[in-house]
Amino acid sequence: MPVELRTDVQVLTVLKAVLAAAAPSEGCALLLGCRRGSSWQLRWIWPCCNAWDAPVERVRRFAIDPREQLLAQKWGRARGLEVLGAAHSHPHSDAQPSGTDLELTFRPALMVILGQGGDCRAWWLPDPCGALPAAPLQLPWRMDD
């Protein structure tokens, strides 16, 4: 489990631009990088098309084509990177996991959300097994030079 998500200004700028470009639909991307203990380094953004089946619902839903995930994994492996998680936008709400996000995400998972107004937050979604469902944990960003 990560305790922080490290990146640099350039990668964060690309992430925000990729996600915002899909507005008014939800944008989505895969996050590639390296796990260094509990500090995960985000190094590359893999833009994805929103593949949600019903185009009219893409303003509040997103899906990433599994073929995109496989391509990103293969590309990343060849460069010493791995898929750390996924990102998507909430063009009409805050940058926190929605009920739908929690219901449809396989856990444990790293999720980054760009909310309305440009607020971008990183979340760890723990494994929901156990007596009480585990709540999402907001992760701090650490900006590298």
- 29 DSSP β-pair partners: 47, 87
Domains of the chain: 4-144 (3.40.140.10)
Three-state DSSP at 4 gives: strand
Helix (H) or strand (E) holding 28: strand 28-36
Summarize pLDDT for 5-16 with one digit per residue, the tens. Answer: 999 999 999 999
* CB distance 122 to 97 below 8 Å: no
For 65-90, write each residue's pLDDT tens digit.
999 999 999 999 999 999 999 999 99
Looking at residue 132, its pLDDT comes to 58
pTM of the model: 0.94
Alpha carbon separation from 127 to 28, 54, 108, 132, 139 (Å, rounded): 22, 29, 5, 11, 16
